[in-house]
Structure 1
Amino acid sequence: MQSVVIEQPGRLVIQQRPLPQPAAGEVRVKVKFAGICGSDVHIYHGHNPFARYPRVIGHEFFGVIDQVGSDVDPQRIGERVSVDPVVSCGHCYPCSIGRPNVCTELQVIGVHRDGGFSDYACAPARNAYRIPESISDRHAAMVEPFTIAANITAHLQPGADDIALIYGAGPMGLTVIQTLKGVYGVKQVIVTDRIAERLVMAQENGADWTFNNAEASLPAELEQRGIRPTLIVDAACHPAILQEAIHLASPAARIGIMGFSGDACTVTQQSITSKELSIFSSRLNSARFPQVIDWMADGKIDPQRLITHCVAAGEVEQAMLMFEKDQRTCCKVLLQFS
C-alpha cells in the first residue's frame, strides 16, 4: 500500500508499505477520503510538539472496514466508517468524567501514531463509527472537523438569544458558524477575519454579518452598533485575541478558546472577574462523533459548503501547499484514495 509519510520536518514522501494487520480490538479501514487539516501542515513543518517522526499523517478520514482483529465482530467487515482520532485509556480521571480528549495517556491518530493518509489504516474498533447511507463518502470525511465545533459549543451551551462573535473564518470558524446556526438556532452570529474572501465563505455558511478587522477597528464598530457579544469563539488562534475578547464581551458572557499557540498573552484578573466571564478551552473532541453524524444525517449542518477542492492522494504535497498558502479560495481539501 502507499502511505503519505513525513520522514522528518520538511520532508514528505509517498512510501510503499506493507499492509497493516489489525491488533486485538482493532479494525483495518480501506481509506476512501481524508481531509487536510492545519495540524497536518504543522507536523510537516515540525511545529507540532507532540508528533514523532517518521509519521503517517492524517486524522480526518473515512473508509470501509476490510479486516478485523480478534474480539471484533467479523460482521463489521464492509461497514462504512469515519474514524475518531482520539485514542484514550478509558480509566484515568479525564476519561472517567467523559473527557477522553485530554486523557493522561492520550494518543491521536496521525500525530502520536500513524494516521489516515494511507491506502489502509488501523484503529480501535470503538473509534470507527458507522456512517448511514444518507451521508456521502466525501461528507463522511468531514465528520471529524465538525466534532471540533461540537466540542467547543458543548462547553459554551449556546442559546437562541445569544449574540455570538467568532474570530476567524477558516475551517474551524466555519464549522462553528454552521453549528451555532443549524444546531443551536443562534439568531445573531458575527464573524471577523482579515481576508475578504473568507468573510464571503462565512456568509455562505450562515454568518449574519461579517467584519474585516484588517481594514477597521472591531471594538469601535461594535461600540457604535451598541453590541456586547454574549458568546465569543476564538477560531483564529492568535494570542492577542483573548484580551480583546474579554474587553468586548458582555458581562456574564462565555468565551471559547480553540487555539494552541505557545506564545504568551496578557490578561488581567480584574477584566475577567469584574464581568464574571466564563472562559473555556477545547481540544479535539470528547466522543462527539455520534452527535455530529446525527446532525449531518438530519441536515442541520452541510459539509459541502466547506469543501473547495478534492484531489488524488498522490498530489498531497501540492494540496498541502495550496491549503496553507491559498486562503482566499481554498477552505477544505479532501484527498481521494484509490
Structure 2
Amino acid sequence: MKAFQVSAPLDYRIAEVEVPKAAPGEALVRVAFAGICGSDMHIIHGDNAFVRFPRITGHEFAGVIEAVGEGVEDIAVGDRVCIDPVISCGHCYPCRIGRPNVCTTLEVIGVHRNGGFEEHVAVPAANLHHLPEHLGLDAAALVEPYTIAANVLDRMQPHPGDRLLVFGAGVIGLTILQMARAKGIEEVIVTDVIDERLAVAQELGARHVLHGRDQDVEQTVLELTEGEGVPLIADAACVPSLLPQMLRVASPAGRIGLLGFSPTPSDLVQLEVIKKELTLVGSRLNNRKFPEVLELMATGRLDPLALVSHRLPFDEMPDGIEMLDHHPEKARKVLIQIGA
C-alpha cells in the first residue's frame, strides 16, 4: 500500500509499505482524508524532538473501519470514524488527575508511531470516535485541529462577556477564532502579518483584524478596550518574542494561553505578571475534546471546510508540502484525499 514516509529531515516520498494488522485492542482504518499540519512540517524539517525516523506522519485523519482486533467492542467493520491521536498510559500523575494529554509516557499517532498518511493504519480502538450521520469524512479529518482550539480555550477559562485576542491567523488561530465564536465569545480580535490570513479571519467572524507590521497592535488593542486590555489572549503565532507584548495588552486578571514548542527563551517581565495577577497556561494537544468538537460540527456551529484552501490526491502530497514550505501565504489547510 502507499504511505507518505519521512526517512530523515527533508527526505520524504510516497512509498510502498506493508499493510499493518490490527493487534488486540486495535482497529484497522482505511484512511479517506488527512490534513497536513504545521507539526507535520516540523517533522519534515527535523525540528520535532519526539519523532524517530523513518516515520509515516499524519495525525489529522478520518476513514472507515476495515478490520478489528481481538477484544474490540463497539466498533464494527464499515463504521466511519475519526481518530484522537493522543495515547496515554492511564495511571501516571497527569492521567490520574484527568490530564492524559500530558501523560508522562505520552505517544502521539503520527509522531511516536505511524500515522494517517497511509492507505491503512492500525490504531487503538479507544482512540476512535464515531461520526455523526451527516458529517462527511473530509470534514471529520479536521476535528483534531479544532480540539487544539477547544483545549486552549478551556485552559483559559472564559467568562461571559470576555474579549479574546488571537495572535496569528494561521490554521490554529482560525480554529481558535471559530471555536470561540461557537462557544459564545462575541468579540474576537485577530492579529497577523499576512493580509490574506487576516481577510479569512474577518470572513470567519473576527470583530477586528490588525496587521502586525502596519499597525501598532498594542496601542490599537488598548484603544479598542478603553485602556483595560484583553482578558483572554491565545498565542497561535508561537513567536517567543511576542510574550512581552501579550503581558502588556492583557487586562488585570487576564489569562494567556501558550501553544508554541519553541526552545527559544521569552522575556518575561515579572512585574507585569504580578501586578495584574495574570495566568499563563500551556496547552498541548487535546484533553478528550473530540466529542465536544463533533457535536459542534454536527449542529453546524463549526464549519471546518471553510479552512480548506487546497485538496490534493495522495500522489500529489509532496507538491502540497512544497507549497506550504515556499508559499504559506497561499494556503490554509491542505487536505489530502487518500482513499475516499
Flag whether TM exceeds 0.5 (same fold).
yes
Secondary structure of 2:329 counterpart:
coil
Which secondary structure state, in structure 2, belongs to the residue aligned with residue 328 of structure 1? helix
1:320 equivalent in structure 2: 321
- One-letter code aligned to 1:117: F
- Counterpart in 2 of 1:161? 161
Aligned AA for 1:216?
Q
1:94 and 2:97 matched: no
Which residue pairs with 2:24 in the alignment?
A: 24
Q: Deviations over 1:263-294 (max 9, x none)?
A: 01111222101100111110001111111111
Q: Does 1:212 align with 2:214?
A: no
Structure 2: which amino acid aligns with 1:193?
D
| 2:316 match: secondary structure | helix
Identity between Structure 1 and Structure 2 (%): 45
Q: Report the alpha carbon displacement of residue 75 of structure 1 after superposing the two structures with TM.
A: 5.3
* Counterpart residue number, 1:252: 253
CA contact (8 A) 1:323 1:332 kept: no
Cα displacement (A) at 1:66:
0.6
In structure 2, the residue matched to 1:237 is 238
Name which of structure 1's ranges 54-63 and 322-331 shifts more when overlaid on structure 2. Answer: 322-331
> Whole-Å Cα distance in 1 between the matches of residues 127 and 198 of structure 2?
34
Residue matched to 1:333:
334
Match of 1:137?
A: 137
Query: 1:326: how far off?
Result: 2.4
1:186-244 CA-partner distances (Å, limit 9, x unpaired): 12110000001100011111101100011121112223443411111100000011111
Gaps of 5+ in 1: none
C-alpha deviation, 1:10, in angstroms = 0.8
Q: CA RMSD in A?
A: 1.2
Cα-to-partner distance string for 1:59-98 (whole Å, 9 max, x where unaligned): 0000001111110138511110001111111111111111
- The question of 1:186 aligning with 2:185 is answered yes
| 3-state SS, counterpart of residue 70 of structure 2 | coil
SS for the counterpart of 1:39 is: helix
Q: Is the 8 A contact 1:132 1:297 kept in 2?
A: yes
The residue that corresponds to 1:85 in the other structure is 85
CA distance in 1, matches of 2:36, 2:298: 23
Q: CA deviation at 1:7?
A: 0.6
Is the CA contact (8 Å cut-off) linking 1:229 and 1:249 kept in structure 2? yes
Counterparts of 1:253 and 1:47 in 2: how far apart (Å)? 32
The 3-state SS of whatever aligns with 1:314 is: helix
4+ aligned runs moved over 2 Å, structure 1:
222-227, 323-329
C-alpha deviation, 1:325, in angstroms? 2.9
C-alpha separation in 1, matches of 2:156 and 2:299: 22
Indicate conservation of the 8 Å contact 1:156/1:255, yes or no: yes
Aligned partner letter, 2:296 = W
Query: 1:158–1:180: 8 Å Cα contact kept in structure 2?
Result: no
Contact 1:38 1:324 (C-alpha < 8 Å) held by counterparts: no
Match of 1:70 in 2: 70
Q: Distance in 2 between matches of 1:156 and 1:222?
A: 19
2:43 and 2:51 in contact (8 A); partners too: yes
Q: Which amino acid aligns with 1:198?
A: R
Q: Is the 8 A contact 2:68 2:75 kept in 1?
A: no
SS at match of 1:301: coil
Residue identity opposite 2:274 in structure 1: T
| 1: CA distance, partners of 2:21 / 2:210 | 50
Q: TM-score, normalised by structure 1?
A: 0.97
Cα deviation, residue 122, structure 1: 0.8
Tell me if structure 1 keeps the 8 A contact 2:94–2:102.
Answer: yes
